[in-house]
């Protein structure tokens, strides 16, 4: 749990929104870098055509809420440098495009109206700013004059710009619940031909101190190259709960619907609602959140393929939400093709595969007083099959000591992921701590160290 923001681990599911000038070319949010487009050409081509006449943040917020999401994070500025608000520090902003207005303010208002926590994304990179030095991910990294161009650039000036813009975002829109910085690359594959960038380039310690001063209750991620409140694995599902220095940390898997963050018209690799639900459940079972992305079109609408996927997610969370919201890991050994989550005196068995009649729960004998399918509240029979019981004809044999056997209907419930709710004699999570998951409430598996 985050002490100053316990809502985060209660929420479990949020919407990421990637939106900017890159929605016009509609071929990935890194299009400027991938196609090595100089800043002046990129601005000339797209700024004058950014006219999101169908932008309705209330529709976005309603879609998020109906999908079961509890918070939203919008890209105020992505790597391309274009700002969705009326920044006093640059002319490269929505108010100077055909949009003609601040696009952050109505988003914040809409999120609050729909009961959603408000998040903003801010890119530490800026491929448009004249003082941001050329590096391995910069659009001009293949320019033969890159080294000479860098001699005229000053990261100290850029750092002042960065801090100033963050101050604007955190001062002009009331309470901001979550700030997602992106990203540091001091070492690794993005720092081969040119030096990468990290905490010294961003002034991360001073930046984070300012953020805490302006918004004491805010959640900040881990991408400043210094520890934050949460860890943010991206485009993969951790194999176990995540740790820092041997201590479990809150984490959030950042995932796309189709492999692209920004609107990518021809990318058809969409995940099914069932897969999205499994990802959500898998994360919660390891004490993590899911931040699921949509990339609105250049006119400001959500792609119908995205809304269909989110509608399927919402259909499941409406009925099964109590198995994920405020839930966390369980201590018990999980059967194959299943995931456990726990909250209070309830244990939730998520069945990724539907077995014929029986599912055997190791170590659960004598611990549950009642079981039911969560989708309709119908009772599930429980039994303990003694280890010395012999299999004969139509009678199955015994199970290892301590095993609880559930007898399921032959017909699988017509839901994406069926859930059995077990009422326990003893709570795996303290009843007075809905949002906290102590060290004793963990799967007995190896941790993923961060």
Q: What percent of the chain clears pLDDT 90, i.e. is strictly above it?
A: 91
Structure token digits, residue 215: 């918004």
Q: What percent of the chain clears pLDDT 70, i.e. is strictly above it?
A: 94
Q: What are phi and psi of 37, to 5 degrees?
A: -90, 120
Strands 381-383 and 358-361: unpaired
Confidence of residue 432 (pLDDT cuts 50, 70, 90): very low
What pLDDT is stored for residue 393 in this prediction? Answer: 81
- Average pLDDT estimate for 232-260: 96
C-alpha distances in Å from residue 301, one per residue of 97, 192, 411: 18, 39, 39
Confidence of residue 390 (pLDDT cuts 50, 70, 90): confident
Which long-range CB contacts under 8 A does 159-162 form with residues at least 24 apart?
Answer: 159/201, 159/202, 159/203, 161/89, 161/90, 161/126, 161/129, 161/131, 162/124, 162/126, 162/202, 162/203, 162/207
Whether the pLDDT of residue 436 is over 70: the answer is no
Strands 117-123 and 71-77: parallel
Confidence of residue 439 (pLDDT cuts 50, 70, 90): very low
What pLDDT is stored for residue 434 in this prediction? Answer: 41
Structure token digits, residue 363: 């170590």
Segment 288-328, tens digit of pLDDT: 999 999 999 999 999 999 999 999 999 999 999 999 999 99
Segment 52-99, tens digit of pLDDT: 999 999 999 999 999 999 999 999 999 999 999 999 999 999 999 999
CA atoms within 13 A on the CB side of 276: 31
What pLDDT is stored for residue 447 in this prediction? Answer: 52
Taking the C-alpha atoms of residue 350 and residue 285, their distance in angstroms, rounded to an integer, is 10
What pLDDT is stored for residue 397 in this prediction? Answer: 85
Strands (E), 62-217: 71-77, 117-123, 178-182
Total residues belonging to the chain: 450
DSSP β-bridge partners for residue 288: 251
Out of 155-169, 175-189, 349-363, 419-433, which region has the weakest mean confidence (pLDDT)?
419-433
DSSP β-bridge partners for residue 123: 182
């Amino acid at each position: 749990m985050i002490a100053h923001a316990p809502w985060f681990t209660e929420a479990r599911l949020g919407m990421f929104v990637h939106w900017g000038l890159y929605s016009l070319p509609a071929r990935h949010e890194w299009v400027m870098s991938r196609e090595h487009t100089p800043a002046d050409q990129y601005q000339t081509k797209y700024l004058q055509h950014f006219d999101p006449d169908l932008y309705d943040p209330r529709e976005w917020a309603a879609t998020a809420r109906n999908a079961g999401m509890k918070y939203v994070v919008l890209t105020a500025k992505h790597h391309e440098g274009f700002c969705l608000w009326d920044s006093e520090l640059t002319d490269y902003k929505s108010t100077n495009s055909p949009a003609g207005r601040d696009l952050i303010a109505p988003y914040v208002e809409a999120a609050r109206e729909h009961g959603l926590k408000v998040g903003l994304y801010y890119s530490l990179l800026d491929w448009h700013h004249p003082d941001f030095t050329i590096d391995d991910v910069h659009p001009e990294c293949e320019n033969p004059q890159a080294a000479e161009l860098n001699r005229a650039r000053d990261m100290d000036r850029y750092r002042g710009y960065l801090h100033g813009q963050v101050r604007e975002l955190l001062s002009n829109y009331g309470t901001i619940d979550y700030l997602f910085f992106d990203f540091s690359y001091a070492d690794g594959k993005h720092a081969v031909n040119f030096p990468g960038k990290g905490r010294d380039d961003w002034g991360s310690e001073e930046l984070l101190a300012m953020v805490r001063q302006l918004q004491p209750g805010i959640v900040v991620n881990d991408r400043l190259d210094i520890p934050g409140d949460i860890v943010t694995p991206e485009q993969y599902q951790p194999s176990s709960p995540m740790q820092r220095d041997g201590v479990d940390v809150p984490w959030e898997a950042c995932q796309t619907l189709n492999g692209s963050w920004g609107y990518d018209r021809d990318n058809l690799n969409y995940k099914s609602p069932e897969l999205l639900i499994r990802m959500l459940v898998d994360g919660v079972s390891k004490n993590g959140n899911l931040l699921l992305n949509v990339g609105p079109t250049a006119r400001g609408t959500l792609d119908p393929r995205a809304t269909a996927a989110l509608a399927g997610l919402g259909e499941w969370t409406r009925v099964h939400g109590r198995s994920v919201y405020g839930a966390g890991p369980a201590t018990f050994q999980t059967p194959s093709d299943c995931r456990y989550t726990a909250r209070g005196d309830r244990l939730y068995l998520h069945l990724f595969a539907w077995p014929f009649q029986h599912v055997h729960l190791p170590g659960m004998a004598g611990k549950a007083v009642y079981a039911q399918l969560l989708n309709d509240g119908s009772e599930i029979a429980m039994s303990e099959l003694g280890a010395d019981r012999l299999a004969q004809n139509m009678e199955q044999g015994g199970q290892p000591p301590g095993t609880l056997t559930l007898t399921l209907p032959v017909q699988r419930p017509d839901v994406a992921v069926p859930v059995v709710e077990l009422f326990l004699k003893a709570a795996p999570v303290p009843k007075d701590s809905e949002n906290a998951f102590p060290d004793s409430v963990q799967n007995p598996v190896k941790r993923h160290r961060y």
